[in-house]
Amino acid sequence: MTTSRARPLASLAPWRQTARAFVELVRDYQWPTRVVTALLAALAVLGTAAAALGQPVSQWLGAHAKVVQAEQALTSDPFLTLLALLVALFVGIAIKRQQLLGQLDGSDHYTIGRALAYGYFKNFLVGALLVMEAKGSRLHVVKPASVEDLRMLEDEVWPQLQPDLNARTEEVAAVARFGHKPLRRRVIVLAGWGEAAEPFYIDFPTTLFTVADYYASWNRWARRNDRPYIDDQRLASYQQQQINDFFRHLHELVDSPDGEVPVGVDAVAEHGLQADALQRLFRDRLVEISLDELRQRLAQRPGASAGQTS
């Protein structure tokens, strides 16, 4: 049995494919849906038996009149219709809940926000924080309130700040305890203005632009297959959910509930960081700022006008 389950679905016989699909469907059911479906099936069987006997099964068994009356009510068409409607309602609620959480593919725990956070954490953020540690600085990651904030950063804020910004690759030459080659991370550096005596390092996770494409792809598939799609009014809240998942999972990769080893330790094993070192790195070298906070800081630069960063 274990071997057949491990085999790809397409390689199984049709009846095995159907059985696999049935098992997965039952797993997706929440307990209210399972209970109502089982009750509906049992009453349908009971009603079929009564029709075959020409009288209620309880009456045929010599049960009390009230039991017979209860059986007739429970096996009546209106009550069975009500149960069928409840099953449909519960399934619809489960699907809608998955959509609200961004779990459009049926996943009950993994979302695009979590996937993007893992990639950002492993491929960029930890290395950038190690660079900041070596330089004695901190990295300010802009936390967008929405996907629109990301677009605004790229389309409006960044072009306005070109005269004051210097984007360069920060390199640490001696990082033997973290690996065999220098760490290189490209971040935005604000230097030479303001009250800060040291450069101000910024990054904003443009990987979150993928969220918009994720839902656009879903809507294209839904329309092509005559399935319900996400309208524009709800799209913003769906995208916001993924942004929230992104930043929440970044912290989950570092946090260690109940003394467990953080999930992120294995993800960045190449840097030789243990749990306490990883947590200390995030605590001391990472600062999350909003778009408004970034604008306030930029408004303090020499020659800045209210119209440039508003």
Q: What is the pLDDT along the chain (310 residues), one digit of tens a residue?
A: 333 344 555 566 777 777 777 676 666 667 777 787 888 888 888 888 888 888 888 888 888 888 888 888 888 878 878 777 777 777 777 766 665 555 545 444 567 888 889 889 988 898 889 888 888 889 999 888 877 887 787 777 777 666 555 555 555 444 444 555 566 667 777 765 555 567 888 888 888 888 878 888 888 888 888 777 778 777 777 888 888 889 989 988 998 777 778 888 888 887 788 888 899 999 999 999 998 888 887 776 655 554 454 4
Tell me the C-alpha distance between 199 and 243, whole Å: 28
Supply the pLDDT for residue 169.
54
Tell me the C-alpha distance between 119 and 114, whole Å: 9
CA distances for 171 relative to 193, 210, 281, angstroms: 22, 28, 18
Supply the pLDDT for residue 99.
59
CB of 267 within 8 A of CB of 118?
A: yes
CB of 245 within 8 A of CB of 239?
A: no
Half-sphere exposure in the Cβ direction for 87 (13 Å, CA): 16
Supply the pLDDT for residue 7.
54
CB of 188 within 8 A of CB of 206?
A: no
CA distances for 131 relative to 94, 138, 175, 255, angstroms: 44, 9, 9, 21
Supply the pLDDT for residue 2.
37
Q: Which residues pair with 139 in a beta bridge?
A: 201, 286
Tell me the C-alpha distance between 49 and 60, whole Å: 11
CA distances for 17 relative to 7, 64, 106, 154, 229, angstroms: 11, 46, 18, 48, 28
CB of 150 within 8 A of CB of 204?
A: yes
Supply the pLDDT for residue 167.
52
- pTM for the structure as a whole: 0.61
Per the rule left: phi > 0, alpha: psi between -120 and 50, beta: everything else, 179 is: left
Strands 183-190 vs 165-172: parallel, antiparallel or unpaired: antiparallel
Supply the pLDDT for residue 166.
54
Per the rule left: phi > 0, alpha: psi between -120 and 50, beta: everything else, 136 is: left
Half-sphere exposure in the Cβ direction for 310 (13 Å, CA): 4
CB count in 10 Å sphere of residue 245:
22
Q: Which residues pair with 289 in a beta bridge?
A: 142
The C-alpha R_g of the chain, in whole angstroms, comes to 29
Q: Which residues pair with 141 in a beta bridge?
A: 203, 288
Supply the pLDDT for residue 304.
56
Q: In what order do the strands lie in the sheet with 139-142?
A: 165-172, 183-190, 200-203, 139-142, 286-289
Cβ-count burial 96-106 (b if 16+ within 10 Å, e if not): eebbebbbbee
Helix (H) or strand (E) holding 38: helix 31-53
